[in-house]
Amino acid sequence: MHKELLEDIGEKELIKRLAKFMPKNQISDDCAFIKNINNDLLINTDSLVEDVHFNDATISALDIGWKAVASNVSDLISSGCDKIIGVNIGLVVPPKTDWAWIKDLYSGINQALDNFGGSILGGDCSTGKEKVISMTIIGIQGEIKLRRNSCRPKEVIMTTGIHGLSKLGLMIKSKKIFDSNIYLTQTLIDRSIQQFCKPKLQPKFLKQIMKARPNKSFKTIGCTDSSDGLFQALNDLSIESNCKAIIDYKKIPKHVNWPKGHEWDKYYFFGGEDYELVFSLPRKWANNLLNSNRNISEIGYFTEGLPSVEFTNLKNDKFLKYKPFSHF
């Protein structure tokens, strides 16, 4: 198929084409305009770098667009966002990039925004050696503030879903099947690729916890997302809230076909990019929520003590020695 390279279409034409992906918020102007805000705001930036966060071999531009939005939206959800306003995009691409790639990226971004709410507000596009999508999202803070530092001893620790799927999806897509003796069911394969390429989020989470709230005086709860893996999420909550997490290994919700073994525990707890919520609530509130939402699992509790994550019902804790991915 004929490639239409950016260096051939030129900057002016590119800007004209990109403008078509933006609704009227983007004034034909030096910056974008957001009308009539009357709230507390949440703002977050996530950058995706080629060959660090994605590459053409494992994920399409359409899915990268979706995922860039999803990872930003997930940070807003895990802070108690009520409504997404929109995103600004700082895009860096080499001059040899095919226009079709950019078009798909922006289509994926708009697909995700149609799904989660909000629109593309504005942004800029520059040349560079490698692709970088730096996205900044703005949303409105809802009534309950979800914060990493707000977990309290005696609270029940819960999570909204199962982990490890995105990591497995990545390994399947990059053809790094690490354990050839393991049989993976098609359901697990499909679900993992789905979670890696086009992750689902928990956009109704704030409404669910508000509905389950036994007392309107509760305004803050301890919460984060598992974008850096379940273990990291638990660790962050315990450090920021200055208490100890006790996790019951038996209660950890796994995909019904998830294989057993040390390596698989490592992928489960350290895989990342699952975008589930990890949070804690007082017992009564937790019970209300667990009774009304079957996808939410109780996995442990917080107790007083030095910040740490401890496991019960765990025979082989070898996977805990794993050092998670570090950029530097």
CB-wise, 125 or 290, nearer to a copy of itself? 125
Site for a copy of itself contains 67 (CB under 8 A):
no
Which residue is it, tokens 């796994």?
A: 254
Q: Where are the alpha helices (DSSP H) in 165-302?
A: 165-173, 186-197, 205-212, 230-241, 262-270, 283-292
Compute the distance between CA of residue 122 and CA of residue 22 in angstroms, rounded to an integer. Answer: 7
Shortest gap between Cβ of 124 and a copy of itself (angstroms)? 5
Binding to a copy of itself (CB under 8 A) within 117-136 occurs at 121-130, 132, 134-136
Identify residue 107 by its one-letter amino acid code: S
CB-wise, 183 or 328, nearer to a copy of itself? 328
Number of Cβ atoms within 10 Å of the Cβ of 121: 22
Site for a copy of itself contains 55 (CB under 8 A):
no
Shortest gap between Cβ of 42 and a copy of itself (angstroms)? 5
Contact 46, 72 (CB under 8 A): yes
CA geometry: angle at 304 spanning 303 and 306, to 5°?
A: 110
Compute the distance between CA of residue 114 and CA of residue 117 in angstroms, rounded to an integer. Answer: 5
Shortest gap between Cβ of 221 and a copy of itself (angstroms)? 13
Site for a copy of itself contains 242 (CB under 8 A):
no
CB-wise, 132 or 314, nearer to a copy of itself? 132
Binding to a copy of itself (CB under 8 A) within 76-95 occurs at 76, 78-79, 88-92, 95
Of these, 40, 56, 143, 304, which contacts a copy of itself (CB under 8 A)? 40
Compute the distance between CA of residue 296 and CA of residue 286 in angstroms, rounded to an integer. Answer: 10
Shortest gap between Cβ of 255 and a copy of itself (angstroms)? 25
Binding marks (x or -) toward a copy of itself, 4..23, rule CB under 8 A? --xx-xxxx-x---------
Shortest gap between Cβ of 205 and a copy of itself (angstroms)? 13
Q: Are strands 132-141 and 81-93 parallel, antiparallel or unpaired?
A: antiparallel
Q: Can you say whether residue 191 is alpha, beta or left, with left for phi > 0 and alpha for psi between -120 and 50 degrees? A: alpha
CB-wise, 96 or 318, nearer to a copy of itself? 96
Considering only 27-35, 112-120, 165-173, 286-294, which stretch makes contact with a copy of itself by CB under 8 A? 27-35
Find the distance separating the first CA and the last CA of the chain, reported in whole Å. 39
Considering only 43-51, 193-201, 205-213, 254-262, which stretch makes contact with a copy of itself by CB under 8 A? 43-51
Shortest gap between Cβ of 108 and a copy of itself (angstroms)? 19
Number of Cβ atoms within 10 Å of the Cβ of 279: 28
Helix orientation angle between 11-19 and 99-116, rounded to the nearest 10 degrees: 20
Site for a copy of itself contains 149 (CB under 8 A):
yes
Site for a copy of itself contains 226 (CB under 8 A):
no
Of these, 21, 44, 195, 276, which contacts a copy of itself (CB under 8 A)? 44
CB-wise, 12 or 20, nearer to a copy of itself? 12
Contact 77, 202 (CB under 8 A): yes
Contact 138, 259 (CB under 8 A): no
Q: What Rg, from alpha-carbon coordinates, does the chain have?
A: 21
The dihedral sign for the CA sequence 168, 169, 172, 173: negative
Interface contacts to a copy of itself, rule CB under 8 A: 6-7, 9-12, 14, 27-47, 49, 51-53, 74-76, 78-79, 88-92, 95, 121-130, 132, 134-136, 138, 141, 147-149, 224-225, 240, 326-328
